[in-house]
Structure 1
Amino acid sequence: MKNNKANGKAKESRELALHYMEALVDVARESFLILDPNLRVVMANQIFYQNFQVSKGATESQLIYELGNGQWNIPELKDFLEDILPNKKAMRDYEVRHVFETIGEKTMVLNARQIDSVQLIILAIEDVTDKKNLEEKLAECAKGLEVKVAERTHDIATRVKELEALNKTMVGRELKMVELKKEIADLKKRVQNGNGKNGNGKNHNGNHKNGR
């Protein structure tokens, strides 16, 4: 009698917990599965059916690995549900990437909690495929930009060296021009000084002859 009463209360508690879970997951933006201890689907929310293109009839009471004709038979998911979760009771941000036959490659982040009191597992599945693809594209763009910046920096550095070499050449030429101009000026001065002396000598000789 006591056992029947206890079983009745346990069943009532489980149904009440399931009712509250259903109310919560129905308004969630992520896909949710509620599993029994044997990893069979007790219920799923509407977002799950939409995102993974499966029906309610083909989902409820099914072993999770058999969903979608075995599309959920994912090694990482098995590790998560059978090895990690039972030991930790709760697990956050476990990333799984898988190619589904109907919807293609998906990157999913799994969060789960095992509720021992009512023998249920609540599994949240966030589809981060678009986010991951965007991150990868941004990473590729950043890498390409880094390469272009490096190439541009190398080109600028090369150009700077060329300009420095040209500047040295021009400065050297200017110094040579200054020296050359100075030499020319000195030569002109010498020529002018030499012409002046010759002229004075002629005048002096002429006067001397006239005196005779």
Structure 2
Amino acid sequence: MRQFENPEDAQTLALALVEAIPEPFVILDDKFCVVAANDPFYDTFQVDPTRAHGITLYDLDKPQWDIPDLHRFLETVVSQHTQISGIEVERDVPGLGRRVMLMSARKVDYARTTNSNTLLAFQDITERRRAEAEKQALLEHTEALLAQQRVLFQEMQHRVANSLQIIANILTLKARGVALEETRQHLEDARQRVMSVATVQSHLHLTDGIDQIEMSGYLEKLCAGLAASMIINSRPVRIDVIADEGLVPSQNAISLGLIVTELVINAIKYAFPGPRPNARIFVSYEISDMNWKLTVSDNGVGRAAVSEPAKPGSGLGSIIVGALSKQLEAHVDISSTVAGMSVVITRGTFTSRIFNAA
């Protein structure tokens, strides 16, 4: 490092460096009296530069600088001959109000004298801390609103499920009280539709999301519920589910759940009119980017093969599946033989990766 022949030159350079620092900066002697400071220091803290030299930092605008934390901070620097940074101090600044200052200090010892100086730098981080506090408050407010939304959502699901169960019970009682078989069948179909919606609703509240539903766990829980409520011991039917993991908007999940419920209930009711060994219903859901494929198949009695591709019929269940599929911008393909029936609902172009073993 260059040695200055003239001590005044070194002092001139030191003072120029102090003035070049954009943040408030002050040099103190070993008794914490002001030796020099830059304009940002005088301007920020509104200190008269003509009165500052030789005055201890604590007495500059007493008692504003007479802060216990500042005493401990500077004494630690001096006693331990160390450099300390990142110490926060709050103080009232005339004209600015309460400010949060980040302080850094370093003691400078000299080889030819026992005197020392302490360099003290300030950074005003009031706005940063205020922004952080506002961000934290906003985050806590958002979390509280989300928690409230979840509670309201679950309460709504509970009320809807109860209402649907009441409607289903009323339809059951009405069906028992009518004499005409055709009317009784219509009431039973209506009850089945209501129970389909109730089943979907009952499993939505088990998911963690509100706007997005994870389909793999949702379909597994849905089909397990259908098996528990629809399958009797005298006619056992196994329902297997293979589904890709992925989030789906809750509105789409409801439509897919209604489709699956409708098709699985129909398979349980009609695919196995009598006891059948290894009776099975297979549900698969595959995702590829924005496209997907839903398959519900069984190894039941099926129906006679036809020469042309089967289309959804005119029954209420077929109408519901067709309408929901159209709403999802998907198309329905039905194939049926004496070995079973398969309903495939596809959005976009899709090549299946799952082997249908039903």
| Shorter-chain TM-score tier | 0.7 to 0.9
Q: Which residue, out of 27, 44, 52, partners 1:51? A: 44
Q: Which residue, out of 160, 163, 175, partners 1:163? A: 160
Counterpart of 1:126, as a letter, is Q
8 Å CA contact retained: 2:77, 2:107? no
User: Across the two proteins, how many residue pairs are aligned to each other?
Assistant: 174
Q: Which residue, out of 171, 176, 192, partners 2:173? A: 176
Q: Which residue, out of 73, 87, 90, partners 2:80? A: 87
1:84–1:180 CA distance, 2 compared to 1 (3 A):
farther
Q: TM-score, normalised by structure 2?
A: 0.44
CA-based RMSD of the aligned residues comes to: 2.5
Q: Measure the CA separation in 2 of the matches of 1:61 and 1:95.
A: 25
**Greater relative CO, 1 or 2 (CA 8 Å, sep 6+):** 1
Q: Measure the CA separation in 1 of the matches of 2:160 and 2:141.
A: 28
8 Å CA contact retained: 1:71, 1:101? no
Q: Which residue, out of 144, 154, 163, partners 1:147? A: 144
Q: Measure the CA separation in 2 of the matches of 1:36 and 1:159.
A: 71
Shift of residue 85, structure 1, vs aligned partner: 4.6
Are residue 62 (structure 1) and residue 55 (structure 2) matched? Answer: yes
List per-residue Cα deviations over 1:128-182 (Å, max 9, x = no partner).
112112222222222222222222221111111111111222222333344444x
Q: Measure the CA separation in 2 of the matches of 1:180 and 1:19.
A: 107
8 Å CA contact retained: 1:54, 1:68? yes
Residue number in structure 2 paired with 1:193: none
Identify the structure with the greater strand proportion: 2
1:174–1:85 CA distance, 2 compared to 1 (3 A):
farther
Shift of residue 43, structure 1, vs aligned partner: 0.7
Identify the structure with the greater helix proportion: 1
Residue number in structure 2 paired with 1:106: 99
Are residue 125 (structure 1) and residue 122 (structure 2) matched? Answer: yes
Q: Structure 2 regions of 5+ residues with no counterpart?
A: 184-358
Q: Which structure is larger by alpha-carbon Rg, 1 or 2?
A: 1
Q: Structure 1 regions of 5+ residues with no counterpart?
A: 1-8, 189-212
Q: TM-score, normalised by structure 1?
A: 0.72
Using the aligned pairs only, state the percent identity.
24
Q: Measure the CA separation in 2 of the matches of 1:25 and 1:99.
A: 24
Greater shift, 89-98 or 21-30, is seen at: 21-30
